[in-house]
């Protein structure tokens, strides 16, 4: 090789390479853009830090001398640093962050402004009995309690009294304190065979469409074997008998609509099941039956507002299922098709309940979706059931996404908060067309078949995803309104896109009440399972506070509240004590908010306080029948289409998020 050719090759070598060429270990021309990136029309970025340069020894010695001088001054400035850190900690404690730098307009840059529902320090509230409760970030109960506390403190300049408020586990008396030393040795009188079948069928109708709570073949086989000699079976109870007791307890709670002593229907069977439930060392020996039982126990406890206990039981089911490999693609050729299908059904029920209960607690998810490789079970002759299960799973994945981003420990209220809200709305609207195609509610059409209970549940869950992703903005602007009503309105007038995002939240709250009203008119409301009550409560909170932020956000507030109270009254009349407390909190919040407004307060008819407990139609329910029939519901609000929701999300731009950042900073909301 001649010298000129060697020199030519050396000249072609670059002393510096772009990041892409360096990563792929390919030749880089060294100019910007380099030849490779230019051909592929890619962004070409050089990192000058890796470029080699020549400097004199004197230059290095001067740098070392300057470093020594700075180190000598370090002791003199340590006290100043200490003061700054103490001041910053004190400001964080008061939820007023120090904004030290200008915000970068790039939507992906960090900022010091945070989602008020996910910022440190964490929030707690103490009940009248002295027990302290953590207010989880994404919890519906926590969101409502924060709004109520904040409003009370603004009106009265004093903390919210907690004596009359509902705290978990305090509504119902199970008749057992949970201690093994107080176990009743007597076994409950079991229902007759035909009544047991009736109660089991009630569980199948109300919960079986959503969850796998027992394997019908093995469970019903055990039922008939049990009634051949009940005394002998109860003398040495096994897991099947415990399972049976919980199913019967669920069935009685679903069909019996009264509480004579403050104890929920079926609690005698449920508490006996808990007393007989063996330790986890025994449960792990029969993981399939054990996980089904734990799902039933968790669902019953969640319905009674024992949220922490329910979360613990479903967590135990998750761990037993994981140890059994239910989250994996279990081999049919080794385990048999019947067992694999049962495990798949059980796993996805555990997954859905765990996601829902964890979100309602406002806690981190226990397992990441990337770690799950299980297939869906198949349902011969019932393709709709498979589609419904897939829909529930997808929405639970969206809930987990919202909880870990919008409500995450680093959730941002301006840049990243809005970016993540936009992403969550995109994920939600992506499944809307599938939901509408397979489970169309047909609220705007004349039909003789009525509203499907399963379809209603899925649509309620869909709208709850939207509300969950967008309601922190309501809290933000309500806080801003408390700081300065004029600045709040001025800000909203300047933020047309954010204003429309608030309307998306309000619209989904309205649609939930529309769906629930349809169920009410067809006597399909669930008065025991917690899902209809949660949807009613969270949508009512949104519709209570929206017009107090800006009256233009919601018209006919009274009409929407009337719908909410009629639904709650129906649940109360059927023995739901939790609904009574929820309604009381809504009324208390409504009275506080009305004290902030020049408008006259909304005063429900006195007879509403009784609800429909005596089976007598109240004036409010009569108004519902005569004024807001199902065919007229959509005249109040036709609802936003999927395209409209996505258009609102896509309209959010840098100017909007900078306005939010500026307004929040100026008002020192946190």
Q: Is 260 exposed, middle or buried (0-12, 13-18, 19+ CB in 10 A)?
A: exposed
Q: Assign 15 a pLDDT band (cuts: 50, 70, 90).
A: low
Q: Which among 129-143, 183-197, 460-474 has the top mean pLDDT?
A: 460-474
pLDDT tier at 263 (50, 70, 90 boundaries)?
A: confident
Assign 3-state DSSP to the chain and report helix, strand, coil percentages, each to 5: 65, 0, 35
Residues 490 and 605 in one domain: yes
- Residue 533's pLDDT is 95
Of the listed ranges 173-177, 579-583, 629-633, the one predicted with least confidence: 629-633
Greatest mean pLDDT among 42-46, 307-311, 645-649 lies in: 307-311
**Residues 350 and 428 both lie in one domain:** no
Question: Is residue 655 very low, low, confident or very high in pLDDT (cuts 50, 70, 90)?
Answer: low
Q: Which of 159-163, 320-324, 341-345 has the lowest mean pLDDT?
A: 159-163
- Picking from 145-154, 555-564, 649-658, which range would have the lowest pLDDT averaged per residue? 649-658
**What pLDDT is recorded for position 260?**
66
Is residue 306 pLDDT above 70, yes or no?
yes
Q: In which band, very low, low, confident or very high, does the pLDDT at 99 lie, cut at 50, 70 and 90?
A: very low
Domain that holds residue 14: 3-50
Average pLDDT over residues 35-55: 70
Final residue of a structural domain among 315, 337, 371: 371
Domain membership flag for residue 325? yes
Across the range 290-317, mean pLDDT stands at 95
pLDDT band at 18 (very low <50, low <70, confident <90, very high): confident
48-78 per-position pLDDT tens digit: 655 556 667 766 777 777 776 665 555 444 4
352 and 205 in one domain? Answer: yes
Is the CA virtual torsion 558, 564, 570, 576 positive or negative? negative
Q: Does 441 lie in the same domain as 365?
A: no
Q: Identify the pLDDT of residue 110.
A: 38
Q: How many whole angstroms separate alpha carbon 429 and alpha carbon 450?
A: 25
Q: Phi first, then psi: what are they for 391, rounded to 5°?
A: -65, -45
Q: Does residue 346 share a domain with residue 256?
A: yes
Model confidence at 641, in pLDDT bands (50, 70, 90)?
confident
- Mean pLDDT score, 335-355: 95
Residues 290 and 430 grouped into a single domain: no
pLDDT in tens, 488-531: 777 777 777 778 888 899 999 999 999 999 999 999 999 999 99
Residue 162 located in a structural domain: no
Task: Determine how many CB atoms are found less than 10 A away from the CB of residue 316.
Answer: 18
Q: What is the CA radius of gyration of the chain?
A: 30
| Residue 146: pLDDT over 60 | yes
Cβ burial of 85 (10 Å; 0-12, 13-18, 19+) is: exposed
Same domain, 507 and 624: yes
Residue 168 tokens, joined: 């978990």
Helices (H) and strands (E) in the chain, counts: 28, 2
Domain-embedded: residue 491: yes
Q: Which of 345, 371, 397 is the last residue of a domain?
A: 371
Q: What is the DSSP string of 296-343?
A: HHHHHHHHTT-HHHHHHHHHHHHHHHHHHTTTS---HHHH-HHHHHHH
- Residue 100 scores a pLDDT above 90: no
**429: helix, coil or strand?**
helix
Task: Let me know whether 391 and 484 are in one domain.
Answer: yes
pLDDT tens across 579-588, in order?
999 999 999 9
- Which of 62-71, 320-329, 345-354, 415-424 comes out lowest in average pLDDT? 62-71
The pLDDT confidence band at residue 621, using thresholds 50, 70 and 90, is: very low
pLDDT tier for residue 652 given thresholds of 50, 70 and 90? low
Both 320 and 420 in a single domain?
Answer: no
Of these ranges, 40-54, 191-205, 488-502, 600-614, the one predicted with the greatest mean pLDDT is 191-205
Mean pLDDT of the region 25-36: 78
pLDDT at 5 over 50: no
Residue 247 forms part of a structural domain: yes
Any domain includes 261: yes
- Say whether both 489 and 342 belong to one domain: no
Q: Which two tokens stand for residue 77?
A: 């400035």
Predicted pLDDT of residue 48: 60
Q: Is 0.85 topped by the overall pTM? A: no
What tokens were used for 208?
A: 């079986």
Q: How many domains does the chain have?
A: 3
Other beta carbons within 10 Å of 558: 11
Query: Using an 8 Å Cβ cutoff, are 463 and 399 in contact?
Result: no
pLDDT of residue 77: 42
67 assigned to some structural domain: no
**DSSP category for residue 48:** G
pLDDT reading at 633 higher than 70? no
Q: What is the mean pLDDT of residues 424-434?
A: 84
Q: Which of 60-74, 113-127, 277-291, 329-343 has the lowest mean pLDDT?
A: 113-127
pLDDT of 631: 31
Answer with the residue of higher pLDDT: 205 or 657: 205
Q: Report the Cα 56 to chain-centroid distance in Å.
A: 61
Q: Taking 50 as the threshold, does the pLDDT of residue 82 lie above it?
A: no
Alpha-carbon dihedral sign for residues 319, 325, 328, 330: negative
Which pLDDT score, from 0 to 100, does residue 543 have?
A: 94
Question: For 95-117, what is the mean pLDDT?
Answer: 37
Q: What is the DSSP string of 71-117?
A: HHHHHHHHHHHHHHHHHHHHHHHTT-----SPPPS-TTS--S-B-TT
Residues 483 and 580 placed together within one structural domain of the fold: yes
Tally of CB atoms within 10 A around 13: 10
* Residue 335 located in a structural domain: yes
209-220 pLDDT tens trace: 899 999 999 999
Task: Give residue 455's Cα distance to chain centre.
Answer: 19
Mean pLDDT, all residues of the chain: 77
CA distance 418 to 653: 9
Domain boundary among 371, 406, 426: 371
pLDDT at 550 over 60: yes
Give residue-wise pLDDT tens across range 392-427: 999 999 998 888 888 766 544 545 677 778 888 888
Max mean pLDDT range (12-16, 293-297, 402-406): 293-297
Average pLDDT over residues 595-610: 47
Pair (396, 355) in one structural domain: no
Q: Is residue 220 included in any domain, yes or no?
A: yes
Instruction: Choose from 180-194, 295-309, 378-392, 438-452 the range with maximum mean pLDDT.
Output: 295-309
Q: What is the predicted pLDDT for the residue at 11?
A: 42
Helix (H) or strand (E) holding 213: none
């Amino acid at each position: 090789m001649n010298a000129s050719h060697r020199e030519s090759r050396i000249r072609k070598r670059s002393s510096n390479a772009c990041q892409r060429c360096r990563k792929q270990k390919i030749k880089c021309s060294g100019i910007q853009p380099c030849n490779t990136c230019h051909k592929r029309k890619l962004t070409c970025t050089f990192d000058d830090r890796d470029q080699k340069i020549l400097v004199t020894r004197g230059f290095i010695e001067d740098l070392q001398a300057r470093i020594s001088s700075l180190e000598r001054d370090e002791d003199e400035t340590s006290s100043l640093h200490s003061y700054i850190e103490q001041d910053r900690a004190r400001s964080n404690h008061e939820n007023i962050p120090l904004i030290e730098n200008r915000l970068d307009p790039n939507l992906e840059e960090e900022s010091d402004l945070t989602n008020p529902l996910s910022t440190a320090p964490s929030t707690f509230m103490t009940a009248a009995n002295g027990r302290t409760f953590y207010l989880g970030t994404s919890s519906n109960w926590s969101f409502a309690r924060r709004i109520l506390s904040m409003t009370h403190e603004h009106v009265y300049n004093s903390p919210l009294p907690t004596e009359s408020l509902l705290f978990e586990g305090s509504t119902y008396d199970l008749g057992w304190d949970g201690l093994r030393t107080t176990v009743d040795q007597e076994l409950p009188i079991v229902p007759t065979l035909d009544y047991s079948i009736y109660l089991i069928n009630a569980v199948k109708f109300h919960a079986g469409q959503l969850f796998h709570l027992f394997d019908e073949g093995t469970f019903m086989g055990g039922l008939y074997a049990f009634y051949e000699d009940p005394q002998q079976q109860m003398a040495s109870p096994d897991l099947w008998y415990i399972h049976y007791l919980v199913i019967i307890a669920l069935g009685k709670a679903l069909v019996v609509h009264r509480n004579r002593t403050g104890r929920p229907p079926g609690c005698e069977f449920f508490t006996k099941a808990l007393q007989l439930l063996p330790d986890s060392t025994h449960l792990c020996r029969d993981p399939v039956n054990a996980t089904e039982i734990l799902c039933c126990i968790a669902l019953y406890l969640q319905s009674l507002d024992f949220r922490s206990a329910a979360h613990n039981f479903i967590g135990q089911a998750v761990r037993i299922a994981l140890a059994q490999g239910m989250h994996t693609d279990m081999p049919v050729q080794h385990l048999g098709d019947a067992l694999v299908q049962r495990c798949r059904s059980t796993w996805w029920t555990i997954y859905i309940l765990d996601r829902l209960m964890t979100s309602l607690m406002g806690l981190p998810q226990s397992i990441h979706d990337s770690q799950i490789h299980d297939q869906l079970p198949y349902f011969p002759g019932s393709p709709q059931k498979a589609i419904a299960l897939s829909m529930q799973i997808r929405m639970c994945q969206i809930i987990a996404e919202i909880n870990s981003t919008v409500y995450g420990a680093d959730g941002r209220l301006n840049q990243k908060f809005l970016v993540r809200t936009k992403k969550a709305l995109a994920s939600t609207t992506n499944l809307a067309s599938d939901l509408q195609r397979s489970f169309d509610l047909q609220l705007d059409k004349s039909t003789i078949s009525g509203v499907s209970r399963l379809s209603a549940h899925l649509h309620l869950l869909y709208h709850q995803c939207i509300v969950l992703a967008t309601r922190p903005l309501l809290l933000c602007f309500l806080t801003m309104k408390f700081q300065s009503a004029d600045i709040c309105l001025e800000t909203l007038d300047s933020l047309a896109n954010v204003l429309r995002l608030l309307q998306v939240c309000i619209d989904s709250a309205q649609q939930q009440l529309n769906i629930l009203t349809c169920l009410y008119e067809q006597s399909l409301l669930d008065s025991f399972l917690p899902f209809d009550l949660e949807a009613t409560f969270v949508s009512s909170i949104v519709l209570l506070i929206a017009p107090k932020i800006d009256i233009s956000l919601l018209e006919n507030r009274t009409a929407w509240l009337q719908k909410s109270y009629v639904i709650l009254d129906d649940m109360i009349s059927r023995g739901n004590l939790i609904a009574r407390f929820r309604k009381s909190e809504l009324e208390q919040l409504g009275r506080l908010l009305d004290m902030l407004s020049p408008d006259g307060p909304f005063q429900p008819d006195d007879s509403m306080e009784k609800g429909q407990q005596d089976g007598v139609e109240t004036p409010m329910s009569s108004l519902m029948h005569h004024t807001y029939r199902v065919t007229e519901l959509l005249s109040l609000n036709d609802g936003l289409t999927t395209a409209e929701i996505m258009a609102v999300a896509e309209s959010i731009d840098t100017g909007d998020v900078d306005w939010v950042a500026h307004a929040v900073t100026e008002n020192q909301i946190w």
